[in-house]
Every structure is written in structure tokens, then in C-alpha cells.
A and B are shown apart, each in its own frame.
Chain A
């Protein structure tokens, strides 16, 4: 199992993502975005699953998703929204 962090533009985006994780049977919880990841305050979803494949990623990307990060002894950015 790998630990991932997903950040969002709104709190509700995080809530919806958490529901999606539950449907997929991935352990997931809401938390403030870690300070080490961002200086802005928002809600993130910390979730665990086996390593995400490319087609998994495309399912997870919604307009509300800001960043998707693999947290494994340091952050690996898997997705960052275009500014």
C-alpha cells in the first residue's frame, strides 16, 4: 500500500473525493493540507492504495482536484492542475 495526498480547490471537492475512495475501498480521511506541501490552507484527502497506474490517475482527475502527490519518504507530484 502506498500513501497518497490529494488537494482540492474546495472543501467539498475533498469530501466528494473521500466518498470516491470509500467506494473503491481505499482507506481515506480528510485533513488540513500539510504545511510542507502548501502555504495555503485547505482540505486534503490522505488515502492509501496500491500503486496508482496511469488509467487510475485519469479516473481521479476532476476539475476540483488541484494536486495528487505520492507521499513516500518525500513527495512525488503525480498531477498538478494547469494554472
Chain B
């Protein structure tokens, strides 16, 4: 498998892009076949951790990504519980990565899918994201480290995959304390059938575990090593989703592609804050060692540092909605702008302290 790593990564990118585009056809919000930030946020609200009624749904894609990675890792003898590398620092970085994503309205994965849907606002996000990665690399090259991880027990590595199964049971059983956005009530009401979403998550989760697919690694590895394998995967996702969107628009009555800045689904047109949001997310993710999706995959492999990061992302989503930090189609909020600036300062401080003051 490894000899043709680049081909396999590109093929994975194509499959991931196609699945992402088709998920919208099957019911997911526009340009949101996947969005790890949005889906963690929806899931948090689905279990009542915040109360934004428009975004309440336990997303099976998240469950599938974790369990797909868990299954692939287990099958290949790569389920290896480990952790203990600055957990609370990782929680904090995850928290602010989410604040940045919800300023932009999407994680780096959705940034690609927004581009594939013709949303040019995502170009500002891409510029900010690359800038954030560059900022993180500045510290990596000067000694940044969150210290090593250690082998953990099987139980420690299994808790998050087990929690994913519990979430699936809650989604299917739908007891009264699980929240669902009412039809027409917002993006939370838009979703593919549970089985389709779950299968899509399982497929992408297992493929990503095999290939180490990561939205941060593409740009990071190019800057650090002039290594383009993952960057090609990045391009493959975008091109495959773009072509599938155009095809779907041609053969169905719905629109899956609209080129421009204005009137884009679940997006705003404030270029500066789109860029700063993903600058913060890119910066935090380089310090964490991977994008939000990669954290789900590593958590599936038993990495409890990534599990803590996911809890940080979820907490960030809760605060983002409770404190009015998340943007909407109308644009960013003043609270959100303040939070992003605070986030950039905190992440810079974390980078500095773990580089020069160890």
C-alpha cells in the first residue's frame, strides 16, 4: 500500500469529496457534507450542552468517523492507547480552534467544501488558514513541543469510541432529553438518513486512518518539507466535490453550486473575519498536530490527547453559542470578534511558553 502513497491519498481525497457532495444531496446542509466543527457543535446541542435551537442534532458522521478509524486501527494492529501530552493545554487549543471555526462558519474540511460549492468567501478562510499554519510552524521550528505522550491502558483509549456508540444509541432511541431542530428550523434539521450519514462517516473514518488524511498536514508538510502528497489529497477533495456538485446541479432540480461571494449558504461575506477565524483555527491545529477531523481519527486509534482536544472543541462550541460568539449568515458578532482576538493571543502565549519557557 505504502509504495503508491500519493496515489492512495489522491484516491482517498476523491472518495471523500464525492461522499461529502452526495451527503448534501441526501439531506445535509448546503456545502456541509462534512464540517467537523459544525457537527460537533450540533452534537453538543443535541445532548443539551448549549441551546441554539437551529443546530440540534447528534451527527452520525462524527460517530462514524471515530468508529471507522477505531475499526481500521484495530484491524491493522494500530489501536494503540496513548496520552498524557499536556492534556489541558490541548483542551484549550481545541476550545479556541472551535471559536475560530465558528467565526468562519466551518472547519478546514468545510472550507474546501465551501470552495467546491462556489463560495468564494472561503478563499479568505484559506488565506487565513495558511497564515495560521505558518504561524504554528514558526514556533515548531524554534522548539515548540507539548511534551511526549505515554502508553495508556486499553480502557483509557476505548472511552471515546465507547462514548460514540452511546451517542448513536441516544440518536436512534431519541429519548425526550435528546434535542432535535424542528423541520425548517435551521441547519440542524437538515441531515441525511442516519444510516447514510453513519456509513459515510465509517468510510471516511477508516480511509482517513489508513492514509493519515488531514487538512492541516497538506499545507504544513508542504511548508516544512516541500512534501506535496497530502496537499494533493486536499486538492482532490475539492475537485471531486466541485465536479459532483456541478453534476448534481445539472441532473437534479436543486442547486449544489453557486459561484460568488453573496447569498452563499451558511456563510457571511466579511473577508477579514473569515480569514482571522481560520487563522486562529490553523494556528491552534498546527500546535495540536492535526485538523479537527484528524483529532477524531486519532481518538479512534486510542489517543486520549486527541479525545481531550475533542472535548475542548465541544466546550468551545457550547461557549460560542451561549456567549453569542458564533457568526451567522448576517456576519460576525462583536463578541465573536473579541473572542477570536483573545483566542489568537492565548494560542500565541501557549506557543511561546511551550517554545521558549520550558
Residues of chain B from 299 to 323 with CB closer than 8 A to chain A in the complex: 301, 303
Which residues of chain B are near A10, meaning CB under 8 Å? 143-145, 148
Question: Residues 1-40 of chain A: 1 if any B CB is under 8 Å from the residue's CB, otherwise 0?
Answer: 0000000011111010000000000000011101110011
Q: Which residues from B are CB-within-8-Å of A30?
A: 224-225
- Is A39 a contact partner of B73 (Cβ separation < 8 A)? yes
Q: Contact between B298 and A11 (Cβ–Cβ < 8 Å)?
A: no
Taking the complex as formed, is B27 at the interface, i.e. its CB lies under 8 A from any CB of chain A? no
| Residues in A whose Cβ lies below 8 Å from that of B221 | 32
A39 to B294, CA, bound (A): 11
The answer to whether A35 touches B145 (Cβ under 8 A) is no
**B: contact size bracket:** 35 or more
User: Among B90-98, B113-121, B211-219, which stretch is in contact with chain A?
Assistant: B211-219
In the complex, B142 has a CB within 8 A of chain A: yes
State the CA gap A36–B1 with chains docked (Å): 8
Query: What string of 1s and 0s marks CB contacts (under 8 Å) between A64-78 and chain B?
Result: 001000000000000
Asked whether A43 is an interface residue with its Cβ less than 8 Å from the other chain, the reply is yes
A residues within 8 A CB of B82?
83
Whether the Cβ atoms of A15 and B224 lie closer than 8 Å is no
Closest CB in chain B relative to A58 CB, distance in Å: 20
Does B290 lie at the interface of the complex (its beta carbon under 8 Å from any beta carbon of A)? yes
In the complex, the answer to whether B78 meets A12 with C-beta atoms within 8 Å is no
| A21 to B: closest C-beta gap in Å | 16
Name the residue of chain A whose CB is nearest to the CB of B227: A32
B217 touching A41, Cβ below 8 Å = yes
Measured between alpha carbons, how far is A13 from B147 in the docked complex, in Å?
11
Chain B residues with CB under 8 A of A43: 224-225
Could you tell me the distance in whole angstroms from the C-beta of A66 to the nearest C-beta in chain B?
Answer: 8
Q: Is the CB of A11 within 8 A of B73?
A: no
A31 vs B140: C-alpha distance in the bound complex, in angstroms? Answer: 14
In contact, A41 and B214 (Cβ under 8 angstroms): yes
Q: Is B206 an interface residue (CB 8 A)?
A: no
In Å, the complex CA distance between A11 and B303 comes to 19
> Is A41 in contact with B5, judged by CB distance below 8 angstroms?
no
5 nearest A-B pairs in the assembled complex, by CB-CB distance: A10-B145, A83-B151, A9-B148, A36-B2, A12-B143
User: Which of B's residues lie within 8 Å of A, judged by CB?
Assistant: 1-2, 5, 73, 76, 78, 80, 82, 140-145, 147-151, 209, 211-212, 214, 217, 221, 224-225, 227, 229, 289-290, 294, 298, 301, 303
